[in-house]
Structure 1
């Protein structure tokens, strides 16, 4: 009986939280994260400040919710691309997943810049965002696990080996997305090295494009990204 009475209330609360987040995203798209304020959101929605605080404790609480959603949606885009590319060559899978990530970022640059742009002064992201960020990169791990890194990547591979030994959560991350490499002495380190490098490539190319820094230049963002990915795939001798 109590559950039946609480269910509509819970649904209304979730709906209102969703509307607040959508309003905040509109402000992000218009003015950037620095302009985000609960009082401004409340005014746009026709709510009082105290009413809004029933749904989010403060600006950082709202910001954390938006960041979680952005990571989750980016991870979903990459995960769907990984599923659709299953059975294709590692190089093709790499391109499909990176392309999906780029498409998500370019379609919603304000959300991409929220998680990959300049840090918000005074804001500290909650611990659970680390797992969400790793979920975005997770599908890339098996692509590189069976690669053969060129000699120039040896120092990075050593650092990834040390990271595995020092942090149990890293091993769990690899095990979740590339369980077939468990027990192999080198593949987990190769997988991590590839994931770190693809993150750097994505952040560099997609970040510049999302911020509008390719305007007036003679190349397309997708063309540049594919060129970078091919260089990375060559460095790991991917098929």
Structure 2
């Protein structure tokens, strides 16, 4: 039963993110697509806090999610990665530590689950996208668990600023 609940919640979240991206009429406006997907992810979480907590809160002791949860669980990141890859990323060499070894599994998993192929997704791009993904979900979690109280007055505006900055940070070196 827990598996069915997880799959349903992941699918609802994934559908919300995909629908928001698909609703952007100018398919070439990748920043708008990114922001729409991020906003939809936050909106779903805010309106479904208990489902979000089930997905991204404390793990259920003794439960190991079966393989059939993986595809639903990756719908948002696959959509975000697809948008990033549409920006035709060709990042320069990594400034500090290379992502190669750290994200090899993520690049392969994205390709297997219908995302960008490993050849089309350089490790630096995959690493940057994973950093953005974890920041998006971390920002949502901080909002939902009350960690921004006293620090952020307008959660929606803060989230939008984070999402905009992530897009700029993840794509800037490619546009230079």
- TM-score past 0.5 threshold: yes
Residue-pair matches, total: 169
CA 1:228/1:158 → structure 2, altered by over 3 Å: closer, same or farther?
farther
What root-mean-square deviation, in Å, do the aligned CA atoms of Structure 1 and Structure 2 show? 2.6
Taking the TM superposition and a 5 Å limit, the aligned residue runs for 1:108-123 are 108-123=48-63
User: Which structure features the higher share of helix residues?
Assistant: 1
Secondary structure of residue in 2 paired with 1:187: coil
By how many angstroms is 1:153 displaced? 7.3
Unaligned runs of 5+ in 1: 1-61
**Greater Cα radius of gyration, structure 1 or 2:** 1
By how many angstroms is 1:121 displaced? 1.4
TM-score (norm 1): 0.61
Larger RCO (CA within 8 A; separation ≥ 6): 2
- Alpha carbons 2:152, 2:158 under 8 Å: kept: no
CA 1:154/1:139 → structure 2, altered by over 3 Å: closer, same or farther?
farther
- Alpha carbons 2:98, 2:124 under 8 Å: kept: no
Residue 22 of structure 2 corresponds to 83
Unaligned runs of 5+ in 2: none
Q: In the alignment, which of 56, 67, 70 is matched to residue 9 of structure 2?
A: 70
CA 1:224/1:144 → structure 2, altered by over 3 Å: closer, same or farther?
same
Q: Distance in 2 between matches of 1:130 and 1:141?
A: 16
Residue 156 of structure 1 corresponds to 99
Taking the TM superposition and a 5 Å limit, the aligned residue runs for 1:163-178 are 163=105, 167=108, 169-173=109-113, 176-178=114-116
Residue 208 of structure 1 corresponds to 142
TM-score (norm 2): 0.80
Taking the TM superposition and a 5 Å limit, the aligned residue runs for 1:172-191 are 172-173=112-113, 176-178=114-116, 185=119, 187=121, 189=123
